[in-house]
Amino acid sequence: MKYAKPNMMIRPIYLILATLSWNALAATETTNQAEDNKTQENASVEEKIEIEDEASDTAPMSQDEVLKKMQEAVQALKSQNSIKSEKFKASLREQEEAIAKIKLERTLLEEELKLNHLKLQASHQKEIQLLKHQKELNDIKLAQSQTETTIALNNAKVNEVESQSDFKAIQTELATLKIEQQQQYFAKKTATYLDEPLLENGTLVISDRRIALNGVITYETANFITERIAFFNNLDNKKPIFIVIDASPGGSVMAGFRILKAMEGSKAPVYTVVKSFAASMAAGITTLADKSYAYPNAIILHHQILTFTYGNLTDQRESLESLEEWWRRLATPIAKKMGITLDAFIEKMYAETKSGDWEEFADEAQKLKWVDYVVDHIEETSVLIHPDHQNDLALGANPNPQAPKNRQYQSVLGSYPDRGSRELPQLFPYDCFYLHNPDNYYKAQ
């Protein structure tokens, strides 16, 4: 925006002031000059009177002549005064005309100044209006831009919501597909709980209240089994609990007795199930259970306690006394269930084999009361997840699984060791092994 220069409005004021000063100065000079002329004329008249007086002194005049001359002088002065008065009036008129002219010029200059001020003000108002108009245009553009931005943001949000909806739909579809794929790994049924698990058709129905006992019986095995017996009792102390033995050669007498005492103290009945092989301590647990079940071709083996002893004769004698006491405590209940004495039980062992390893198939063991029921079929109602997929679920819950430090504890969960020789776990003092080890596969530490 361009503004008028300040001196364009100030210059006329300077001109007016200069003109007024000049005219006033000229009027003052004219007045002074008229007074000087009057003074000079008066001086000239006085000089003439003095000259005439001097002449009269030289030539005496009559009174009439003197009066006449004085009248002539007065008349001359009047004439001169009249002329001077006219000139003064004329000069005064000229000054008044000059002053009137100056006033008129001043009035014209003031009007011109007002006109210029009005023009300048009008120009400023126009520029202000232009600025206001420009501001209104800018405000409109800004509002339009904000509206467009809001619309763009709303469109972006809508697109984002649509994208999220699409993404959620895809996720839902993938989850549905995953669920559908996983459903094939899950049986669409629940475990069966029966107070009398043996059906009339000879099928044994096992619920999910089952505990696996496999491999050598150790302290860890005892912990594993006794904790689960306690848990199932706390969950329901009426429904039966199953200890399922696929294959176990026996193990620690102390650990085995802990399992037996947990079975005896359980309010819920604890049943044993032998599918393949139960020897030594595992056979004792089978025989002394509330009820025991086995496949016809499962093998039950009883024998005397096995020991790995060392030391002098006194140490050996003390170890033998401890072994005999353990054997009495363990074998007496088994012989009692068979309906014979402990000595008769031992005699029959060695009557069967010179090693004393008395083994029988389950259908024959049933006659000896080593096992209560022989079953043709076992229905595992707790196997509701595909075994191959079960490992994937375990990995999903624990993406960084660590192999168990003790392979023996792993055998409790159902895995079987390779057939390389294996060291037995170190026993507590006064403990011993009740273990079937005909090929010396297990080695004492």
Q: Read out DSSP for 262-317?
A: HHHH-SS-EEEEEEEEEETHHHHHHHTSSEEEE-TT-EEEE-PPB----S-HHHHH
Looking at the structure, do residues 114 and 32 belong to the same domain, yes or no?
yes
Mean pLDDT of the chain: 80
Domain tally, the chain: 2
Least confident of 262-266, 425-429, 430-434: 430-434
pLDDT of residue 437: 78
Query: Is residue 16 assigned to a domain?
Result: yes
How big is the chain by its Cα radius of gyration, in Å? 71
Where a domain ends, among 159, 194, 215? Answer: 159
Query: Is residue 129 assigned to a domain?
Result: yes
Looking at the structure, do residues 155 and 211 belong to the same domain, yes or no?
no
Looking at the structure, do residues 65 and 141 belong to the same domain, yes or no?
yes
Least confident of 73-82, 170-179, 275-284, 398-407: 398-407
- pLDDT-based confidence at residue 209 (cuts at 50, 70, 90): very high
Top-confidence residue, 356 or 398: 356
Looking at the structure, do residues 247 and 354 belong to the same domain, yes or no?
yes
Query: Is residue 173 assigned to a domain?
Result: no
Most confident of 252-261, 414-423, 431-440: 252-261
Looking at the structure, do residues 139 and 228 belong to the same domain, yes or no?
no
Angle subtended at Cα 183 by Cα 181 and Cα 187, rounded to the nearest 5 degrees: 145
Query: Is residue 182 assigned to a domain?
Result: no
Top-confidence residue, 118 or 34: 118
> Tell me: the pLDDT tens digits for 296-314?
999 999 998 876 666 667 7
State which H helix or E strand residue 241 sits in. strand 241-248
Where a domain ends, among 159, 184, 214? Answer: 159
Domain carrying residue 150: 6-159
Query: Residue 181 pLDDT more than 50?
Result: yes
Most confident of 250-254, 282-286, 399-403: 282-286
395 touches 401 (CB < 8 A) = yes
Looking at the structure, do residues 222 and 113 belong to the same domain, yes or no?
no
In angstroms, rounded to a whole number, what is the distance separating the alpha carbons of residues 49 and 57? 12
Indicate if the alpha-carbon torsion angle 275, 278, 282, 284 is positive or negative: positive
Query: Residue 288 pLDDT more than 60?
Result: yes
Query: Residue 393 pLDDT more than 70?
Result: no
Looking at the structure, do residues 307 and 437 belong to the same domain, yes or no?
yes
Looking at the structure, do residues 90 and 207 belong to the same domain, yes or no?
no
Query: Residue 75 pLDDT more than 60?
Result: yes
